Amino acid sequence: MAVTYCFPGPWIPRDFRTSYIDQSMTRPAAEIRFRESDGRKSHCVPAIVIALLLGYADFVISSEPDKGAAGKVAVELAGGDAGAGAPTISGLTQAGIVNDDRITEASGLAASGIFRDACWMHNDSGDEARLFLVSLDGATRAVVELAGQKAYDWEDMCSFTIDGVSWLLVADIGDNARKRGNGKKNGLPACQLLLLKELPLPGRAKPGKVTWNVHATIEFSFEDGPRDCESVAVDTTSKKILLLSKSFPLDCGLYELPLNLHKGNVTQIARRIAKPGVPFATAMDISPQGDRMVIASMLTGALIERRANEDWAAACQRPAVILQLPVRKQGETVCFMPDGNSILLNSEGRQQPLWKLELPKRP
């Protein structure tokens, strides 16, 4: 029996195999359809099954789409065992293992703009307000504490460069219960983005602690109410901050804020610009070149290519390229490498691999 999830809109995978659903089919987002291979029987089960599958399964992708399945998709769900018999993923290498027991719930990942072959990482909620500079082989090079900050629920981070200056943006936006609002409603802190310059570090033989000041704080709320959101990215071509909500596909929204590099605190409203139909996104990033967006979930990933003179709202209307990602314990991180041709991935948990995945060539 094959398992087909009813993805709506442009998120529908084109290269999945075994059983098919029509792109034009309109179905509730909170369903999984089980269909026998001969197509004669089908039935639906509650959305809770999706949550159960997230931790124990992975998608298998066919490299050759069915020539007779124009306008349709095929999906097969296979066991998520990364051991013997697991499918080989083209272009995937293990760069190293994150060898720092202080990194227990990696929730943010960003390639460094000034340190070669290194990335920034941070933990999920419950940790100090600190960033780890980690070499691609997994060794910690430095720990940066953010002066005067508390990490309520850090969910993602990104790096970008504008006018030769390298920046980091940390997203304290976790809101699983959808109760955080602008102005500290419900007794909870507002969703906020911490903007800081990436600075040179003092040369030391051993990793040490450094303290940086936050350049600016952006408090914001979503125009259509609180959202569970774990993904942030910056588009340097339009100078916009993008946020992607984590939800069932029909409720998924891509939001934008203006990127303000002025020092100080500002309050803004995140405006919805698209409905990408992405199921349960846990991380995203935009390439330094500004032409690619990668989105990751615990199951799989997607690559969205933006054409010249096109905005992301338009780009998200086309089908995404589905990426097969390595099986991870709890994958909530992704970032582009500086060349925009590969991505890095990691997972929550101690001593987790740092994966590097080469992306399909640009059209």
Show the DSSP H helices in the chain as ranges.
48-54, 312-315
Length of the chain: 363
User: Is residue 144's pLDDT more than 70?
Assistant: yes
Residue 276 has pLDDT above 70, yes or no: yes
pLDDT band at 334, cuts 50/70/90? very high
Please report the pLDDT score of residue 18 as a whole number.
Answer: 30
At residue 76, the pLDDT reads 29
The pLDDT tens digits for 76-120 are 222 333 433 445 889 999 999 999 999 999 999 999 999 989 999
What's the pLDDT score for residue 236?
97
Amino acid at 149: Q
- Tens-digit pLDDT profile for residues 290-310: 999 999 998 889 999 999 999
Strands 42-46 and 31-35: antiparallel
Q: Using one digit for the tens of pLDDT, what is the confidence trace for 245-263?
A: 999 999 999 999 999 899 9
Chain segment 120-133, per-residue pLDDT in tens:
999 998 899 999 99
Strands 342-346 and 333-336, by their bridges, are antiparallel
- 10 has pLDDT over 70: no
Confidence label for 363 from pLDDT (cuts 50, 70 and 90):
confident
In this prediction, residue 189 carries a pLDDT of 87
The pLDDT value recorded for residue 103 is: 95
Quote the pLDDT of residue 184: 62
Mean pLDDT, residues 137-146 taken together: 95
pLDDT band of 270, cuts 50, 70, 90? very high
User: Do residues 328 and 347 lie in contact, with contact meaning Cβ atoms separated by under 8 Å?
Assistant: yes
Q: What is the mean pLDDT of residues 58-63?
A: 31
Give the pLDDT confidence score for residue 206 in this predicted structure.
56
- Average pLDDT of span 16-23: 30
**Would residue 187 be called left, alpha or beta, if left means φ above 0 and alpha means ψ between -120 and 50 degrees?**
left
**Phi then psi for 185, rounded to 5 degrees?**
-70, 155
DSSP 3-state percent helix, strand, coil across the chain (nearest 5): 5, 45, 50
- Which band of pLDDT confidence, cut at 50, 70 and 90, is reported for residue 237? very high
User: What's the pLDDT score for residue 126?
Assistant: 84
> Is pLDDT larger for residue 1 or for residue 158?
158
Compare 233 and 9 and report the one with higher pLDDT. Answer: 233
Tell me the domains of the chain and their CATH numbers: 2-79 (no CATH), 92-358 (2.120.10.30)
Q: In the predicted model, is pLDDT for residue 176 greater than 70?
A: yes
Kindly state the percentage of the chain with pLDDT values over 70: 73
Question: In this predicted structure, which of 195-204, 318-327, 334-343 has the lowest mean pLDDT?
Answer: 195-204
Buried b (16+ CB within 10 A) or exposed e, 303-334: bbbbeeeebbeebbeebbbbbbbbbbebbbbb
C-alpha separations of 44 from 25, 29, 41, 305 in Å: 14, 11, 11, 33
Secondary structure letter of residue 341 according to DSSP: S
- pTM of the full structure: 0.78
- Helix and strand tally (H, E) in the chain? 2, 28
Of 278, 274, 318, 275, the residue nearest 298 (C-alpha): 278
Pairing type for strands 209-212 and 140-146 reads: parallel
